[in-house]
């Protein structure tokens, strides 16, 4: 239950940062919305990963959980509980922000493709591939654990800068689902549910294909949460 609690609180913080920034940007009509969204998402991810990775692995994202399980680095039996926690946290964050900021006008905080569906799918696939490749790399036993949280945060910031104008730079099915439920705007939601999972699966597979092995590496990764804690646990 401690792992679930850490995932719940961590995902809630991440969603409040991402969705809240989008709402504030719309209400204030900020001119640098993409930059603000990227900074908010990246900083929030780095903070939460650093704070909770030693407890739950700080997945914060159903796509990452599924990819880790497919890579045999996380137990499949825990996947449904983790995903349910991510979704519950996202919906709760979206509902809370709707109360705090009043009616969410024009679907603020909701990820909706600005271009064609194919372009949006490809973009979400690509940036989640990048994210999962980096997550796989920094959670490997030979990496410098102290830099893991900052590296993941920087990757998320970069991805939002790349894709913010096209898809919002989601990379996370739960991030898309929460605001969609809160606002009733489900346009293009399927893209954000499928593309990140597909991208994460390929990203994990790509890292597994290129990573260096040492004599201490097992053929199969342990079925536990991937962590980026300072003690390597």
- The torsion of the CA quartet 160, 165, 167, 171, rounded to 10 degrees, works out to 0
Among residues 133, 224, 125, 172, the alpha carbon closest in space to that of 18 is found at: 172
Q: What gap in Å lies between CA 200 and CA 79, rounded to an integer?
A: 15
Q: What is the pLDDT of residue 145?
A: 67
Q: What is the pLDDT of residue 29?
A: 58
- Can you list the residues of the chain whose pLDDT is less than 50? 106, 215-216, 218-233
The model's pTM: 0.86
Q: What is the pLDDT of residue 232?
A: 36
Query: What digits encode the pLDDT tens for the residues 125-159?
Result: 999 999 999 999 998 766 666 789 999 999 999 99
What angle (nearest 5°) sits at the alpha carbon of residue 216, between those of residues 214 and 217?
70
28: how many CB neighbours lie within 10 A of its CB? Answer: 10
CA distances from 163 to 47, 114, 145, 146, 158 (A): 22, 10, 28, 28, 9
Contact assessment for residue 7 and residue 56, using Cβ atoms and an 8 Å cutoff: yes
SS3 sequence, the chain?
CHHHHHHHHHHHHHHHHHHHHHHHHHHHCCCCHHHHHHHHHHHHHHHHHHHHHHHHCCCCCHHHHHHHHHCCCCCHHHHHHHHHHHHHHHHHHHHHHHHHHCCCHHHCCCCCCCCCHHHHHHHHHHHHHHHHHHHHHHCCCCCCHHHHHHHHHHHHHHHHHHHCCCCCCCCCHHHHHHHHHHHCCCCCHHHHHHHHHHHHHHHHHHHHHHCCCCCCCCCCCCCCCCCCCCCCC
């Amino acid at each position: 239950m401690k792992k679930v609690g850490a995932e719940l609180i961590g995902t809630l913080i991440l969603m409040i940062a991402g969705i809240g920034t989008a709402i504030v940007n719309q209400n204030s009509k900020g001119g640098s919305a993409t930059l603000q969204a990227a900074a908010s998402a990246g900083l929030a991810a780095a903070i939460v990963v650093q704070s909770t990775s030693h407890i739950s692995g700080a997945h914060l994202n159903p796509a990452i959980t599924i990819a880790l399980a497919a890579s045999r680095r996380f137990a499949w039996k825990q996947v449904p509980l983790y995903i349910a926690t991510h979704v519950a946290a996202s919906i709760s964050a979206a509902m809370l922000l709707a109360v705090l900021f009043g009616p969410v006008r024009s679907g603020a905080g909701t990820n909706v493709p600005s271009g064609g569906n194919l372009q949006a799918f490809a973009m979400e696939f690509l940036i989640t591939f990048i994210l999962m490749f980096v997550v796989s790399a920094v959670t490997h036993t030979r990496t410098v654990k102290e830099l893991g949280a900052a590296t993941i945060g920087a990757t998320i910031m970069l991805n939002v800068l790349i894709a913010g104008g096209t898809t919002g730079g989601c990379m996370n099915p739960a991030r898309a689902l929460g605001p969609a439920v809160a606002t009733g705007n489900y346009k293009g939601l399927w893209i954000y549910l499928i593309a990140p999972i597909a991208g994460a699966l390929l990203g994990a597979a790509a890292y597994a294909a290129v990573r260096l092995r040492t004599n201490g590496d097992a053929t199969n990764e342990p079925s536990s949460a991937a962590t980026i804690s300072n003690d390597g646990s």
